[in-house]
Amino acid sequence: MKTLFTTICLCWVSVVNAAPSFQIPARAPTQTASGREGIVVSNSSIASQIGADVLADGGNAVDAAIATGFALAVTWPEAGNIGGGGFMMVAPPENDVVCIEYRETAPVSVTADSLANWTNRHHERMVGVPGTVAGFWLAHQKYGKSDWKRLVEPAVALANKGIIVDDYLAYSLNGYLIKSDIRSDDRYAEFRRVYGPPHKQFWEVGDRLTQPDLGRTLALIAEQGEKVFYQGLIADQIVDQMRSGDGWITKEDLKKYRAKHRPAIHGNIRGYDFYGAPLPSSGGTTVLMELRMLDALDIKKDEQHFWSANHVHLMTEVMRRAFRERAAYLGDADFVEINPSVWSEKHARTLVKNINPQQATPSEEIAGDIEIAAGPYESPQTTHFSVIDKDGMGVSNTYTLEASFGSGIVVKGAGFLLNNEMGDFNPIPGRTDTIGRIGTKPNLMAPGNGCSVPNRRSSLNKMAR
């Protein structure tokens, strides 16, 4: 049986807004490290090699993914993280595909309208309870072979020794550091201290970025596992940061956090088994809906050339409808009852009936009772990496801080960035806009509710732009 295996969270790579005086360098190509034991692919050559070294030492794909993920927290600070969350898809050679879901959750003190009049996305109140460390720990407990400490120690050494700044990291850090609030507000003094260029105004290619605070934090995680992050010294540091910045996360929020071991969403499309991340990721479900709709259209190869105008038109119309269904029905399945018929073949056939092969359908027309308002542009973010080992185990991991560099809040003395995932929830109940803020009931804040997905702002009409 043919298999399509991916997290499929519809994530986009990170782009940082910078002053016009900075020329945007070419994005570094995907960095691959491989050998007889397997292959690791990520956005960082150093992180990929660390993962490959774990495979060479006898670790499996999950071990290598964990090591790669911790290394990216050092080498790819705009999205690699221990202060964010995500999804790890695991395909054991002989067993069903599963998902380790470690999305951030809303603090227990929030209500649906806690952020109704809130505009500052670089603030402690925007931080969801981080899940990455718990997710990696759960994956290791379920599937890992190597010693936990062995997987974290390379990232410790990397943070302490430092990394050489390349052209894109220089651009990315400089572009963020010149933002007016980051540059001048005392709230971001720790960011400037940790990520500011030493003894100069801007980072230059060839400079060395050392992160000793992060090194100490990772060393604690290497020695004590997830417990130190959620109940120990690191938890205390996070809570202190929340108190100093008027944030919501408490010690109890951290103590109660749990990563989840979930079955993957699955569908068979024309002989291919598709596996995607389950809810609260809408990615897997939304893409399955899209594939079922394309299948229902019964497009013949000789009728549509790949990326022809007709092909793009049909793809766009299918995506419009899938995102409408996502907005209307999908959320955290632990909090919202979701009818599986949403991603059924029968429903897909119903959705494509009104597709006009010659004319685009306005998104407002298919929105139904979802009222759409205007919204500003939003830049993409998030990172992804994949691993396959010599035994055929595959791992596909997507994790994020939400926006590039997340909230911009670095935990004082701990050296790591916190997410701003509370922006995943629509702050205004009932308001759905053209950038994908979704005000339907499944997408509202509730205590402990899982922040939606990295692509939660994919709008009804974004694909048509």
**What are the C-alpha distances in Å from 299 to residues 273, 347, 359?**
19, 18, 17
Closest CA to 400 of 88, 29, 24: 88
Q: Is 297 exposed, middle or buried (0-12, 13-18, 19+ CB in 10 A)?
A: middle
119 is catalytic: no
Give the ranges where 196-308 is alpha helix by DSSP (H).
212-224, 227-230, 233-244, 251-256, 283-297
Q: Quick check: 40 and 151 in contact, CB under 8 A?
A: no
For residue 340, cis peptide bond before it (omega within 30 degrees of 0): no
How many Å separate Cα 218 from the centre of its chain? Answer: 20
Query: How far is it, in rounded angstroms, from Cα 42 to Cα 35?
Result: 15
Out of 382, 383, 398, 432, which one is annotated catalytic? 382
CA torsion, points 244, 246, 252, 256, in degrees to nearest 10? Answer: -110
**Assigned token pair, 90:** 């695991």
Q: Quick check: 420 and 401 in contact, CB under 8 A?
A: yes
- Give the residue numbers marked as catalytic: 382
